Structure 1
Amino acid sequence: MKHIFGFFTIIAIGALAGLVYFYSQIRVDVSTIVDYKPKLTTQIYDRNGELVANIFDEENRQYAKYEEIPPQIIEALVAIEDTSFFEHGGINVEAIFRAAIKDIKAMSLVEGASTLTQQLIKNMVLSRDKKFTRKLKEVILAFKIEEELSKEEIIERYLNQVYFGHGYYGIKTASLGYFKKPLNELSLKEIAMLVGLPKAPSNYDPTKHIDLSLSRANSVISRLYNLGWISQDYYDVAIKETPIVYDETLTQNRAPYLVDETIKEAIKYFPDIKTGGYKITLNADLKVQEMARNALKFGYSEILKRDKNADETQLNGAMIVTNPTNGEILALVGGVDFAKSNFNRATQSERQPGSSFKPFIYQIALDMGYSPMSKVADISRVFEGVNKSEEDKDWKPKNYGDNFEGYITLKEALRQSRNLATINLLNSIGLDVAWQKLIDLGFKNAPQNLSIALGSFGISLLDFSEHYSIFAGNGKQSKSKLIKTITSQTGMVSEFQTEQIEVLKPEQAYLMIDMLKNVVDAGTGRGAKISGIDIAGKTGTTNNNVDAWFCGFTPEVQAIIWYGNDNNLPMRKVEGGGRTAAPVFREFITSYVKEFPNTKRKFEAPSGVYHKLYEGSDAIYTDISPLPTQKLNSVTTQESEGLIF
């Protein structure tokens, strides 16, 4: 007797434990549906409100609140899926009896009687297996959900949760994807096509099976008519309509390098950026992005025309366009073809800037009291102990072309990009002094030797763009800003303010603007020149033509352009900053001016910049950088040794 009692006790305890577990699972499932937190697509827009891309993790879903859903969508859904939805309490008893009779006759579960509430449960928490235990759990959950949520909330969850085929989750996503329309612009036929999709998304996908999709839609329209919910005229028009269907990519990514960088930046602040349904507004302009991409491809094609043996798998380029007065990134192109390489050369690669770095050496000299009209020796010298290797201990730099100019002005030395004059200028300033000033300017990798005058260190286009902004920014260095705002699903807006620091006096920066304008007007940067707009800039070519740069700006826009081989092998000798990169700037600015004809075209001198006739030409100077007062034949011994006049 004791054994029998113990046996039944064990059975009772097991049954109770099973029941407790069953109901605990139900509570979890109910919570999942009530506290609905689906994965949502984040959308990226440019500064003009143009969609740049959708980004998501697994499920491409844009959320539609109940208020956004037109009544006709709800009517069509209820008509075809659950006509008594607003009357039942989660279960349609009459439909269950009908289905049960058919199941008994077939001796298996052949017909369902699922309400929209039950379908929502299947989509979110239960499998679709036709088992009685699962069906029991579904019925209990349906009653619980109807107790917790209103009918409107159930409809909202259903239309946002279900799969509509073609990678689209939720009716808002499907509407934009298939028809490029918001929900409130859909025709009845388009609505019918959408609400008919969840039954068999693959079969009814209108991009693959338009005939089946239209047939299913006609069934929905007929059901609405038979219920008396639409008129004969409305029915006739809807039946005849054949909507235009678009076969869109899921991401709709129009600027992949820009988008990748945006995600990297945004995820620092919002780890759920791919699933949180944010709206990101960029400072970038898709029109400018396209101009930059086309210009970069133009330069790439020109290199290939000149060199039929170029390795197309290695040759590449990058370009970043900013507003130098505030750091806004207007365009960012990390390579000539994202499909072939998603490596972002504008942000991830560090290349030697070569002669495009020289303006910073000259700027230091100007801020120390030198003038654009001060003279420097463009003569050959041997510098002992510059290189560390025993084989080449001394350093004997050369000019391009192996010639010398003698004593020339700083303005002329920069115009011609004279290596020896720049090195001698740096030597005169003092390497330690100049190096510390470069560190203060933010150059992290600057080597502490004279080769720095020729840009012998690595830097990314993004960082170099920030440094170059001190010239066009009238002495203010602007931190590059990709993102303007990020708006959450709750409407909270996070603004990303531009960051600026003043590193030069405006009048000192203008001296460099004038010198760099001379580079484009009559120097190594002539390839960037176009009529009708002031352009300032500097070319850069590294040893053996490994890298080719042009860093240029107008009064309102700045572009940093680079070309080279990814494996760091040299390009042909004809490829350099002046021939390879400068024409790309010209190509870009030509398009830019055409699109934005009201862009500012002339550099304006700030107060503190003076003009004076000097040695037969108009020269500018400031209080810090006065014009030289001594002639070459009357220099002091100290000045002669320093090689600067």
Structure 2
Amino acid sequence: MIKKIFLALFIVVLLAFAGAGAVLYYFVVLEPGEEISEENIRSILGRESPVFYSDGVTPLGAFFSEARRQYVEYQEIPETFINALVAAEDNRFFSHFGFDVQGIARAAIKNIEAGRIVQGGSTLTQQTAKNLFKRKDRSYKSKFIELIYALRLEYRYTKEDILEFYSNQFFVSGNGHGLGVAARYYFNKKPEELTLIESAYIAGSVKRPNYYNPFIKKDPEAMDLAKERGRQRVAYVLKAMLNLDMIDELDYKLAQITKIPFEKGTVGYSLDSVMELVTDAVSSERLLEAMRAQGIDNIATSGIRVITTVDKYIQHQTLYGLRKQLSTLDVRLRGYEREEVQKELAQKKYRGDRTIETGSFVFGTIEKMEKQGDEIVIEVETGLQDGRGRIDRNGLESLVDARIKYLKNRWTESTKKDVDEFLVQLQEGDRVWVSVREIDEFTVPVFDLERFPKVQGGAIAVNNGKIMSVAGGVENRFFNRAMYARRTMGSSYKPFVYSAALQLGWNAADLLVNKRDVFVFQNQPYFPRPDHEIDNELVSM
């Protein structure tokens, strides 16, 4: 009787395995689905993540755009990177069939010994499947579907194909992915030029790029910490490669004493200050963790839509206002002398805005100058579409007024005569920096003359904790002064102090001492020197 029961159980188990095998055969071999096709995988690797203004409709930019992608074929991937990746992530990659039972068991033992998760059991094939085909959550059902996709990849593609897919999808920075971008971003090289230590760094950082990336850190201490983390990770990868006989003892020792030769390269075009902030946000661990909770383990291939709090109109006005005021301030500080201005503009590599619309700031060349009575017409060619326009008398007045204050004193007002006399500072053929004041009824741009400033500044508009606009400088790229410049706040901080005082019960009529004094802050004496006479020793708040 017992034998019959065991026999029956054996048959049931055998049939169960046979059924499971038949199901797997059906979904892996017979009906793998269109998702597994090379065309679909290539389209996933080419996805962009659009970024919108606060209305959710108007485009602000895009992550992972074509300008920030560089697909690398397998034959272009250096052997040092392949070996480093396999050693760091899946040392049995070339011998398993999509998942590694031995690797899973080894990881489980390591995790039990450590009392926490210190090692994963996912193979490179499983990681590729997870990153290419978004899973809904972290449930066992989703993990089973991920395993099916891994088996499909293994059945349909060679190991080399899978490595090629993986090497083109891993996240590098807030707006780039893949080995081609990583080589350029970290070391300013082509993939085939990577050295052993450079390959080890990239391969070792694919899981936690932000953790090891020194370029996204905002202060020297954080940058040094990221470099030290990178050094430790490289040491781990090199040791794994040595144990697998991928490198010899000499190469290992030489690499151990070699610094990681970081050299940040240019990937695509530079980001403006708003997109830089969005890039920092989507690279933050907090947001990445939130996306992982939704089954998104690789933002680079997710195709997510990003909607910001930035208002398009306020952003446009903020940048325009900052540029306009910096131009005026620069003239008040340095004047406007033709020879000096032409020398500075000849050295400028910045190209200005690339479209002609109200509020744009562009470079141009004076082609013709006319003055008939009070009327002044200076024709300017910018080289942009519909970019031929004019500077009229109104377009000179603001700059001339600032120049007169520089030449005389801050209370001097410019006159019509000052504008006329200023014309000697302009000649046909001169380069000029202008802003678009308006587009007239004939679609001709009307310009204001500006001076490209040496003085810099930043501006940010916040409403109820939401960033409505941000401008990081005249060029509005590279360094965001609104967020990262360390400057004293001056009188702009007074509203915060007064608001705090009111919250603490002070009254707007309370009297404050209004006489010169010395204050000590952080062991440094501070002696405010107002530029006006003090009439009263006590004033209301």
TM-score range, shorter chain: 0.3 to 0.5
Greater helix share, structure number = 2
